[in-house]
């Protein structure tokens, strides 16, 4: 995954988590107002036709593999500050992780909401990454496409489900 940060306050380079001397630090968000925030992310687990057929036919040896992956993604959101250096702990108010079997594999989508002083984008990306890592691939390793951050509006109307955020 490639992310571009430009014109952000903080340093000459524009990176808010890097001081002018190049050392990393956690950004001070104490002066920010608490606002409603949401972020959505998506990714794809590429699977063989046999693995897709096993998922569609319900014959995956793991049982409810997509359910396990969904719960793993939700749990990962709550552990994001432990996994991502310098991420702020935020109050997570809602998480949805959807996994859809498509011809190419499994599409993973996550929507995360909070009311806090900082964004929740890393939590959405973490949900997709961990859910994808737990998605099934009977008998073979699966390539996972880089998760993409889809939306991060503040105080936007909150859809009822990921399907509203990611129409087909």
**Structure confidence by residue, pLDDT tens digits, 91-133:** 999 999 999 999 999 999 999 999 999 999 999 999 999 999 8
* pLDDT tens string 10-44: 434 467 778 888 888 888 899 999 999 999 999 99
CB 158 within 8 A of CB 144: no
Q: pLDDT by residue (tens digit) across 4-19? A: 333 334 434 467 778 8
pLDDT in tens, 129-165: 999 988 875 444 566 666 777 655 554 444 444 445 4
Q: What is the pTM of this model?
A: 0.77
Q: What is the structure's pLDDT at 142?
A: 63
Contacts of 13 (CB under 8 A, 6+ apart): none
Token pair in block for residue 94: 């809602």
Q: What is the pLDDT of residue 61?
A: 80
The per-residue pLDDT for 17 is 78
């Amino acid at each position: 995954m490639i992310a571009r940060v430009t014109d952000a306050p903080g340093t000459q380079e524009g990176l808010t988590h890097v001081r002018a001397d190049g050392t990393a630090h956690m950004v001070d968000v104490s002066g920010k107002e608490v606002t409603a925030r949401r972020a959505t992310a998506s990714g794809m687990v590429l699977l063989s036709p046999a693995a897709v057929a096993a998922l569609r036919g319900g014959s995956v040896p793991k049982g409810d593999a997509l359910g396990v992956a969904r719960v793993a993604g939700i749990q990962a959101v709550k552990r994001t500050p432990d996994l991502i250096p310098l991420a702020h702990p935020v109050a997570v108010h809602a998480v949805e992780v959807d996994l859809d079997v498509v011809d190419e594999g499994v599409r993973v989508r996550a929507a995360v909401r909070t009311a806090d002083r900082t964004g929740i984008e890393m939590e959405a990306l973490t949900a997709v990454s961990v859910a994808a890592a737990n998605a099934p691939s009977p008998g073979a390793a699966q390539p996972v496409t880089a998760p993409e951050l889809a939306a991060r509006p503040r105080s936007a109307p909150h859809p009822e489900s990921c399907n509203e955020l990611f129409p087909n």
